[in-house]
Amino acid sequence: MDLIIRNANLPDGRVGIDIGIKDGKIAALEVALTAKAQKEIDASGYLVSPPFVDAHFHMDATLSLGQPRLNQSGTLLEGIALWGELKPHLTVEAIKERALRYCDLAVARGLLAIRSHVDICDPRLLAVDALLEVRKEVAPYLDLQLVAFPQDGYLRDKGAAKLMETALDRGVDVVGGIPHFERTMVEGKKSVEVLCRIAAERGLRVDMHCDESDDPNSRHIETLTAETVRHGLQDRVTGSHLTSMHSMDNYYVSKLLPLMAEAEMNVVSNPLINITLQGRHDTYPKRRGMTRVPELMDAGVKVAFGHDCVMDPWYSLGSADMLEVASMGLHVAQLTGVEQMKSCFRAVTEIPAAILGLEGYGLEKGCNADLVILQAADPVEALRLKANRLFVIRRGRVISTSAPAEAELNLPGRPKTQNYLFQ
């Protein structure tokens, strides 16, 4: 073996497991593995998980906070206006530099796969070219999947249709859209139909900003579901945000959820950004700005949590920490049952990995040796503590380490150290 991780707890409840790694793959998972290795890591009963996966991000805008100015109101519309002001000043070099800095941050957080939307509503396609270069550069240590995203609307922006084709021809992975931002509901519906047809013809996945609104009449998810079935795109289509579902009446949703499950739709909720950008026009009672995460999960729809933004025109906070994202989703969606909390951990690991179609992901023999050792005993404790990533491993190679979190106490009659774990 090249590497053995000893005495690991796994997310599925297995404890005291040794993980043998050879040639970048998991070669063994068993108690008291007798093999020897060039290097061993004692997990000491901490949680070993597959890496975190972010199914919804905007890497072309990340870390641009303050350019050209700060979003003083914190609103979606001011963020869109700021991005419009920034776009003429973008360069390939600047986008690459910010994106690579973010990837460094992601690796340190155990985040080794990201689906990033990239704005194509710029005739120069600078962001597309920049992130295609970044995708190639980070490939040894991070999987970056790109979505061709018509930020200004596929039909609303005069050049978007041609730019979409060009971006896909250059190698962008996924077809994106934003139907609720088109001029009318009718045009929004048409954009969904056209974009799903393009994806079907090209054999690509679809990921749409869909119904990112408080408007209960924004029902483009219905069209997206129907087009998924019509084109045979099952399990290749994702509706992101879907915040309008929090405003829909229960009767309509009772019809919609089974249709989404039948179509094998995927959903990405983005708790941090959703709850800050939605509900802005409410006094009280005030909507939470999320989609119906528990109901979607109960219906059998795959639901992941995404980070969406980090320090950009729309969101001045964020840290690339998917445990922060999952924790916020857990609280806002009221997913506090034991199994529900475990599902929130899966919503930032195995579920988004399935949505992205990542091959070789998981904790089974033959899977890629992509692992994170967390300073926590189990997934719930990891969520509670936003646990330190002690080791981050890519294809069997340690690519990031962090010291355990521990405080030294000076209290009479009390322990000398505190590691925040519940023992």
Catalytic residues: 212
Q: Where are the beta strands (DSSP E) in 229-357?
A: 237-241, 266-269, 302-305
Q: Residue type for 213, please?
A: S
CB 267 within 8 A of CB 301: yes
DSSP sequence for 204-257:
-EEEEEE--SS-TT--HHHHHHHHHHHTT-TTSEEEEE-GGGGTS-HHHHHHHH
SS3 284: coil
Q: Report d(CA 57, CA 320) in Å as an integer.
A: 10
CA-to-CA distance for 333 and 292, rounded, in angstroms? Answer: 8
Distance separating alpha carbons of residues 49 and 41, to the nearest angstrom: 14
CA distances to 60, 66, 292, 381, 422 from 356, rounded to whole Å, are 19, 31, 21, 26, 34
Q: What's the Cα-to-Cα distance from 392 to each of 7, 196, 242, 351, 388, rounded to whole Å?
A: 17, 37, 32, 20, 11
* Number of helices followed by number of strands (H, E) in the chain: 13, 18
Dump strand ranges (E) for 68-199. 111-119, 143-149, 174-177
Q: Which two tokens stand for residue 355?
A: 């949505």
Nearest by Cα to 200 from 232, 177, 224, 170 = 232
Region label for 44, one of left (φ > 0), alpha (ψ between -120 and 50) or beta (otherwise)? left
Q: What is the Cα–Cα distance from 238 to 205, expressed in whole angstroms?
A: 8
Helix (H, G, I), strand (E, B) or coil at 166: helix
Cα 107 from Cα 333, distance rounded (Å): 28
Query: How far apart, in whole angstroms, are the C-alpha atoms of residue 49 and residue 388?
Result: 13
Residues ≥6 apart with Cβ < 8 Å to 258: 299
Cβ(201)–Cβ(231) under 8 Å? no
Do residues 42 and 365 make contact, with C-beta atoms less than 8 angstroms apart?
Answer: no
